[in-house]
Structure 1
Amino acid sequence: MNSRIASVGIAVIMLGLGGLALAGPPLVCFPFETNGQPSLPWGGVAWHESSASYDTTKLASDTVSLLGNDVSVIARMETLRRAGIYAAKDQRAGAELLAALKSRVKNGGDRKTVAYALFDLGYYADTYRQASMANKRPEPHQIDGYSLVAKALEGEPNNPEMHFAAALMTAHSNNKKEHEHHLEQAARGAQEGSLLARNLVSHFQWRGKDLKTLRASIK
């Protein structure tokens, strides 16, 4: 599984129809629209423009505080994307956040709490790995992030936003079947014009210019 993520690396990835070229790791280089939901401080509009003044010693506590059960999956994805970029620049802070997210999984809780804890750990693990590679840093851990997100989906099987995350994580997988399954579940659960629909179209634009054509592209 790690080799699947590593294969994405920092290379230019040719995706889909028309030879659309997207440069860089997919979990890191493409911000998510969140309708202004709270996230970590940021420095600019570009995907990599983190805040130069942000104190990364607070990364673990700040990130965890933004991951309550009332927070949408897409908002979590953007927070964890930013966290991964900060972590790649300060690997001590990155390791502290990884440990904090592991602790949340161990602490357990009700079904939703456990599912979100598994999701956050898995999604951050893969994002942190991709951000580290983009910064030419050593692989920071050996966690299989996708397997944790798949386990989270066992507790939240009808969560289309979580399927959206899993579809991104498997976009360059050798197993097209699992990718198409997650993308189908995400697209089926998205309402036209919703935040999820807009993110689906922007992140899978080579599959369709709108939700209807994206759905039609799924086999």
Structure 2
Amino acid sequence: MSEIVDEISRVHREVGTRRVGADEAGSVLLRRTFDSDAADVWGAVSSPERIARWFLPVTGEFRTGGRYQLEGNAGGEIIECVAPERLRVSWRFGPDPGFSEVEVRLTPEGGGRTVFELEHVSVVPEEFRSQYGPGAVGIGWDLALLGLGWHLTGGGLSPEDAVEWQSSPEAKAFVARSGEEWGRAFAASGADPETVTATTVATIAFYTGE
């Protein structure tokens, strides 16, 4: 279990805000270094066949201006695709998702390593944001990066095993640690301490069912 939970410490997290038109959008940023070259990491995040192995099955037109759909999850437009450096997509889930974009950035590092950044910027209803905070999005992306890391090292779980794993004590420990780290990132952004505590508790409970 310790190796899974230790994956949390390999990710740098930031919480911020920005203006999107007349609205204020929240942002979460995750950054970690993978022991794989940029071409391999790019293939993992841009190839439909490989995305299905660590995230979810995906269909669509895989080109700039094309549309994609993750099975049972988000879909949207491929806004920008600059191989092997940058991928930006709209990220729409539900009947009225509002503004939501995800950008992945890759920077080669020495020794065949790659710095991976994922930033998700979205406008969410105030009642949801005040109840759950940025961890609601951040924990989901931490889980995704865990799967990506497994995939890049040749490990990981089958889709069936991954579903079962999500209810395991190991997964709940991972989620709890992730939620606590997003709480720290939220506090570092200047959020009120009481809000940080309340949203962190609510988000961890939402993911773990406890």
Above 0.5 in TM-score?
no
Q: Flag the structure with higher helix content.
A: 1
Q: Flag the structure with higher strand content.
A: 2
Higher relative contact order (CA 8 A, sep 6+): 2
